[in-house]
Structure 1
Amino acid sequence: MKVDLLIKDAFVFQTVQRKFSKKQVYIHNGKIYRVSTNQIAELAAYQIIQAENQYLIPGLIDIHMHIESSMIPPETFSEWALMYGVTTVVADAHEIANVFGLDGIKNFFNVDTKLDIFQAIPSSVPSTRPDLETTGGLIGVAEVAEMLKWSKVICLGEAMDFRGISYEPDSLIQQIIRHCQENRITMPLEGHIPKIYDQELADFLASGITSDHTHQFPNHLLEKIEAGLFIQFQKKSITPENMKVMMNENLAEFACLITDDVMADDLLKGHLDGNVRLAISCGLSPEVAIYMATYTPARRMSLNDRGMIAPGKQADLVLLNNVETFEISTVFKKGIKIEKAKNKSDNKRSFPAEYYQSVHGRKLTREDFDIRVFSDASSVLVRAITKEVLGTFTDIEEVEFPVKEGKVKLDLNRYCYLYVQERYGKTDNLARSLIKQPLSKKGAIATTWAHDHHNLMMMGNDPLSIQKAHERIHQLQGGYVVVQEGQVVAECPLPLAGILSQEPLEVIGQQLQQVRHAMQQLGYENANEIMSFSTLSLPVSPAYKVTDKGLMDTKRQTFLPLFIDEGAKK
């Protein structure tokens, strides 16, 4: 017999033993045909790759991620992810769903890709409830029922509404969970469980959710795994402290590595492969890191035809020059070598016309950005958000400001305005709030890439700059804009649904890098400027965020007045 390909003399990853052994790997019709210690005389090959001193591992599998976070459609993402050894993903498209609902999901995935893209049903569109945030789309039980019929759907995407899941048996998310349990009994139910422990964790897990990908901490890691959760480590949770717990307690069976979100400029440098390298540098052995990026995610999602190198498995493979540094030499998808991603700007597929005109809402004037007080007080006590420098969690403080001519006079060297305007043309809500010390120079930042509702969020210490950023976002029909001293200094247009671009990744990545730099020049501090700013509007992230409906205590899902004195509020 003659097979398509023989990869000869590689150190092949032995999943069962978590070690490498020199083997011969025969590939035929896109699958692994035979793995043997010695070359088999009866098996000839049309092509032979001599891989001596190289390491052969299964293709990387990312089971919790959002393609839209890279700000590109699936066809562009496919080329780049494959180049980094990622051969399978499970994509939760709740970003496009928040803008255009089920129709958005259908149009987004209406394309063939070399990358295997399985789908998670977006369970939280909106992330909470329509009375707490306005979205363009809604995923209810009827939409879930339709998606359950799709062959590529293999799990329920991250369920995020803590109160609805834990304490409201008739909530929409509970109805969705029950429908999945009744109609797809074995389907994994994915969770979003930040800083929830003890009794609250038990209340949450009573729903049947069995995974968590949010920020993990070493003192609670074992508690979550012993409670039955499969842990998915995104970048910010891949720390020496967490990896030490994983190694010392031998917990690899109960966890995997994922990306969740990879920005466009970061995708130019890597994807899940970067998190594998990080895990190794933080103390995971290379063998355990590979195991948690291939086999455990495949098993979690019942992808039984991949995740290990064995007969009958799909020939999704990665050759490494160095296993310690995870240096990728060659990637194979179904036994075919993957070429480098190309910088293409032509042959863009067409989306419906309304997808390019999705940013609505009235034009705001200078006066819209004032915070007015309706009392005779000479000063007013207000609530202001405080944020982390390293993460996305927030808190709140009470601060007193003077009032002049009925307007709050901020200390603009220490506080900024933060606004969220509904952009779907449904309510034209404009929520006003304050945030402490995000900028040190005069300017503003605005975006429609505002999790997860993707309304128009604006922040700044100069109302004229905020107005300029607002105007520019409307002109671009979505994206990121940074304004300094009234002048646009950086922008990343996202005209497709207000969250995506069809330009080449190199172009988007450069634009986004310029936005990051401009944010830094204004004095905005965070390890991930884009994600930290965009999640200031995410009402399922601890602890205080802003939607178009107002300032929210996200755990209690209650709105807080901006003014402590009820008589002063608008």
Structure 2
Amino acid sequence: MNQQATEQTSLLTQARQRRSPFSLPALLLAGACSLVAIGQPVQAATVSAPVLLEHVRLFDGTDTPEQEDMAVLVEGQSIAAVGHNGAVKAPKGTKRINLSGKTLIPGLISNHSHVGVVSGTKIGAENFTAPVIKTALDQYERYGVTTVTALGLTKSPLFDDLRKAQHANTDGADLFGVDQGIGVPGGMPPEGMVKVGKDQIFRPSTAEEARQAVDTMVSEGTDLVKLWVDDFRNGVKSAKPLPVMKPEVWQAVMAEAHAKNVRVAVHIHDLAYAKKLVSAGADIIAHGVRDEPVDDELISLMKSHNVWYVPTISLDEATYLFAEQPALLNDPVLKAGLSGDLSRQFSDAAWRDKIVKSPLDAASHKAVAMNEQNLLALYKAGVKIGFGTDSGAAPVRIPGFAEHRELRLLVEAGLTPLQALRLATSQAAALLNLSDRGVIAPGKRADFVVLEADPAQNIAAVDQISAVWRGGVRADGPLVPR
């Protein structure tokens, strides 16, 4: 890093420290005492002057086409008014910001990520700490991801306190998710790879143990229940399969969760398991089907059972992307989220050669193509689609950057840029039952991203972040210093 870049990084760090009057311990205490309901706007602790964003191109997160020369009035943590420029009346003392030539979109929302699993190139229980998680949440925010759902591998009470703290402040992405999650003894998620502590996941072997795990998670206030049903071969025929969860266990999980009015998200890879889990009562399929084309049976099941589908196409792309495209290391958008350790790994020719020659490389290419094909088929069929990446579960799934890659892959699959953005905003909010965000409209949270270019013309415009706002507070930025 050159001296100028070092100075810019230092200034950004100082600005972030100045932005929030609270220390992390204070935030955790505030969060632990908070009575904020999920999805409800939080009242600002201090009253700031209203802000009018003028002359901006607007994508509001819905099916409405982009609108030119619009104005958005922000008061406190909420959007007070939206209209054509000149039609929005601003109170006396309003700060005006001219955004001519720029585009305003809702903050991105991830329905499938993980926190506290990875630090640099290392995976392990030692990473589940408040500083590591807060660093990731800050990074998500810089990339315009203002709400994150951590689907398991968490630890109470730290995760619950952090979640409450993020609901009650505007520093870093907001946080929802799953307490622990339910895996398989000796199976998924693989203990030799995902080296989390025993207090970060349940591995019941009986239906009764499964019900007890659900009861514990619900008592901790989990937003969802997560379970893994997969043999972890990932399309590699020569790979040794891991044990798969028994039907009586997943059936007990779903029955107990639904009895307590909590929805269940399921990790799958294969079509056969997707059908079985949807039939059994899964509410969210947390990964795309990647082994074969989806068929009319799955489509009918998902629509009749009102099930959400989160493709996470970038999960498999990340397996080979950095090994096959080392030139990406020169991309300032990637550099903005890359640790030194990970940068050195991507620069290592031996590491790249090993990845490219592995059986998983070819299998991952096939998985991406199949996932894209299935996403488009399900989208056209009217299945409800969310947005996620599994970022944070492995070092190569980089928080924030992975979400930008996912948008590109959705467009590559056949969606228009605005259709892809709708999945990542209003649809992702709907999956979480969050009615206070995901769209730009009066009364909604002031969570939005200002882009230098028009994403309707090229989805790569999401990389050109000028500013990110969460809860009416402008975060540090831009993503890439100019």
1:312 Cα offset (Å):
1.1
Matched with 2:469 is: 332
Quick one: structure 1 residues 251 and 27, their matched pair in 2 at CA, closer, same or farther if it must change by over 3 Å?
farther
Quick one: structure 1 residues 125 and 103, their matched pair in 2 at CA, closer, same or farther if it must change by over 3 Å?
farther
Equivalent position amino acid for 1:76 in 2: T
Matched with 2:57 is: 11
Could you tell me which of 142, 148, 156 is aligned with 2:218? 148
Q: Which has the larger radius of gyration?
A: 1
Matched with 1:564 is: none
CA contact (8 A) 2:288 2:375 kept: no
1:122 Cα offset (Å):
3.2
Per the alignment, in what secondary structure is the counterpart of residue 19 of structure 1?
A: coil
Could you tell me which of 215, 220, 226 is aligned with 2:300? 226
5+ residue gaps, structure 2, are: 1-47, 120-126, 203-209, 232-242, 318-367
1:49 Cα offset (Å):
1.7
* 1:110-159 CA-partner distances (Å, limit 9, x unpaired): 965532101223331456679x97973353544532432455x3211244
1:91 Cα offset (Å):
0.7
CA contact (8 A) 1:221 1:242 kept: no
CA distance in 1, matches of 2:473, 2:183: 38
CA distance in 1, matches of 2:165, 2:436: 23
Quick one: structure 1 residues 161 and 276, their matched pair in 2 at CA, closer, same or farther if it must change by over 3 Å?
closer
Quick one: structure 1 residues 3 and 281, their matched pair in 2 at CA, closer, same or farther if it must change by over 3 Å?
farther
Per the alignment, in what secondary structure is the counterpart of residue 233 of structure 1?
A: coil
> Number of matched residues?
327
Quick one: structure 1 residues 178 and 16, their matched pair in 2 at CA, closer, same or farther if it must change by over 3 Å?
same
Per the alignment, in what secondary structure is the counterpart of residue 303 of structure 1?
A: coil
Higher helix share: 2
Matched with 2:235 is: none
Matches within 5 A, 1:84-483: 84-94=143-153, 96-97=154-155, 102=156, 105=159, 114-126=172-184, 136-137=198-199, 139=202, 141-150=211-220, 153-160=222-229, 167-168=247-248, 171=249, 173-184=250-261, 187-197=262-272, 201-217=274-290, 219-220=293-294, 223-228=297-302, 229-234=307-312, 235-236=314-315, 239=368, 242-243=371-372, 246=375, 250-251=380-381, 254-262=384-392, 263-264=394-395, 267=398, 270-322=401-453, 323=455, 324=458, 325=460, 326=462, 327-340=464-477
Could you tell me which of 58, 61, 77 is aligned with 2:136? 77
Quick one: structure 1 residues 337 and 201, their matched pair in 2 at CA, closer, same or farther if it must change by over 3 Å?
closer
CA distance in 2, matches of 1:253, 1:48: 41
1:287 Cα offset (Å):
0.4
CA contact (8 A) 1:74 1:109 kept: no
Quick one: structure 1 residues 38 and 111, their matched pair in 2 at CA, closer, same or farther if it must change by over 3 Å?
closer
CA distance in 2, matches of 1:231, 1:28: 35
CA contact (8 A) 1:166 1:204 kept: no
CA distance in 1, matches of 2:113, 2:62: 26
* 1:5-43 CA-partner distances (Å, limit 9, x unpaired): 111121111333242112211111111111112324642
Quick one: structure 1 residues 106 and 52, their matched pair in 2 at CA, closer, same or farther if it must change by over 3 Å?
closer
Give yes or no for the alignment of 1:48 onto 2:96.
Answer: yes
* 1:306-329 CA-partner distances (Å, limit 9, x unpaired): 111111111100111221122222
1:189 Cα offset (Å):
1.2
CA contact (8 A) 2:257 2:263 kept: no
Give yes or no for the alignment of 1:66 onto 2:94.
Answer: no
CA distance in 2, matches of 1:252, 1:56: 27
Identical-residue share of aligned pairs (%) = 20
Matches within 5 A, 1:526-537: none
Equivalent position amino acid for 2:465 in 1: I
Per the alignment, in what secondary structure is the counterpart of residue 220 of structure 1?
A: coil
Q: Tell me how large the CA RMSD over aligned residues is.
A: 3.5
Per the alignment, in what secondary structure is the counterpart of residue 259 of structure 2?
A: helix
CA distance in 2, matches of 1:16, 1:268: 25
* Structure-2-length-normalised TM-score: 0.59
CA distance in 1, matches of 2:316, 2:440: 28
Higher strand share: 1
1:296 Cα offset (Å):
1.2
Equivalent position amino acid for 1:58 in 2: P
CA distance in 1, matches of 2:268, 2:212: 25
